[in-house]
Chains A and B, each alone.
Chain A
């Protein structure tokens, strides 16, 4: 599903963010990526969503070789990957339903299709009753659920969750992780980055530890081994 073959990313200021990184993620896997700040996690995600372009090596996602894509293809690449962030990135002026519908609107979906799929997706994330609410009326956990619904509405094969629990209390954080596990059971590959030691250890899933742009540990039922985890 995701293949990184000796991928290096050097930023224009000569900062080496990833250095010859090799990574292979199978379809339907649930993978947690841990690493200290500046280890290269964000760069890894930005390369996947094509916000950044790798300097050398090969990236293949869902059979698509990133060396062959042009700037015109970038929106199509992003539609194949769902992403959620720590700060939710919701449109504050739009209702929950409209926020979720937005991802379908930009890809040219018909209104009838939008009307049919948005309530279903909100039901999946447990927000069926909040379709008409504005993000400011929701709790942090609920906002993250909206973001997840928006990321999933186009049924991507891959969901990237970049510190999705960073702004949430433990109860809400666990609810989000459970939702991600549920999504993974339905067949979506989930890539999670987190600093939350308890979550990583409780998941008992594959954990990849990155340090200074390289993978230093890759365990099938990994644990959080970095200093300073929450």
Chain B
């Protein structure tokens, strides 16, 4: 315990002594960790936004009026067996009419027209997909021979709303940002690893006399290495707090402006609900980058 305290003390002293190098290493680490947090925030915000949008996408398969109830059950079963189908609900002709009337309750002309035409609306299956990006498999089932004859020839399967293309575009843009964030995070983790590697290399070089004396008086390997590891971990610890404070204030400040475009509220909620988890996660990333780079530098330049 006493030895651990001495190692931590020596690490902190080295950190303070190399003020400029330490500041530079901490700054790079801060940028890296900020990018990691922002990438996490945008990933989470985009995911919940996309989920909100795609939950509204469904496929409607319209049926002709001659389908029997046995056929209906068989068709519904086939749809439900598809791995991409989340739920299938049947909407009868009467329900379809009721919905249509409700949607057009202020449009007298349409309501009057319906009285003359009877019920022109087909019965349908309303299908929700698990992955809205891949609706084709669902449509393909409907187009298979036993079921094709049950379809309404005048109304091909359709996707709710006319927004599918727009939604697809949103999904693509979100995917682009998500992978962009991941790539940026990886690139900056590599950059900060290299910079800390060099910082520790220089620290080993400037302290080579001290290291020699430590060896001479019988210091153990970990007593010599420990301060270098702690010094590098300290870059990570300080950077983690700065990066979190910066990102969180950015999220709180920018959140209201962004909320009409993306759903940041759930991310803010996550930060508020699990502050310990967020801080711990960030600290672990920072400490790991620091300790790993420092150990790499020592394995090359600190021969004991």
Q: Bound complex: CA of A84 vs CA of B2, how far in Å?
A: 27
In contact, B217 and A103 (Cβ under 8 angstroms): yes
B241 to chain A, nearest CB (A): 29
Is A91 part of the contact surface with B, judged by Cβ < 8 Å? yes
Q: Which residues of A contact B2 (CB under 8 A)?
A: 108, 110-111
Residues of A within 8 A of B6 (CB): 105
Q: How large is the interface on B (under 10, 10 to 19, 20 to 34, 35 or more residues)?
A: 10 to 19
- A89 on the B face (CB < 8 A): yes
What residues of B have a CB within 8 angstroms of the CB of A105 in the complex?
6
Asked if B209 and A106 sit within 8 Å, CB to CB, the answer is no
Chain B contacts for A71, CB-based, 8 A: 221
Write the A89-105 contact mask toward B (1 if CB under 8 angstroms, else 0).
Answer: 11100000000001101
Indicate whether A120 reaches chain B with its CB closer than 8 angstroms.
no
CB-contact partner of B216 in A76, A89, A108, A111, under 8 A: A89
Q: Identify which of B209, B217, B223 contacts A150 (C-beta below 8 A).
A: B217
Residues of A within 8 A of B (CB-CB), count: 22
Contact residues of B: prevailing secondary structure: helix
Q: Evaluate contact between B218 and A75: CB separation under 8 angstroms.
A: yes
User: Does B55 lie at the interface of the complex (its beta carbon under 8 Å from any beta carbon of A)?
Assistant: no
B210 contacts A79, C-beta separation under 8 Å: no
Task: Kindly list chain A residues whose C-beta atoms are within 8 Å of the C-beta of B214.
Answer: 106
Q: Is A208 an interface residue (CB 8 A)?
A: no
Selected from B209, B210, B212, B218, the residue in CB contact (under 8 A) with A107 is B218
Binding site for B on A (CB under 8 A): 49, 71-72, 75-79, 83, 89-91, 102-103, 105-108, 110-111, 150, 154
Known pairs A89-B212, A102-B213, A110-B2 / 7 extra A-B pairs, C-beta < 8 Å? A75-B223, A78-B215, A78-B218, A89-B213, A106-B217, A106-B220, A107-B217
**24 A-B contacts (beta carbon < 8 Å):** A49-B216, A71-B221, A75-B218, A75-B220, A75-B223, A76-B218, A78-B216, A78-B217, A79-B217, A89-B212, A89-B213, A90-B213, A91-B209, A91-B213, A103-B217, A103-B218, A105-B6, A106-B214, A106-B217, A106-B218, A106-B223, A110-B2, A111-B2, A150-B217
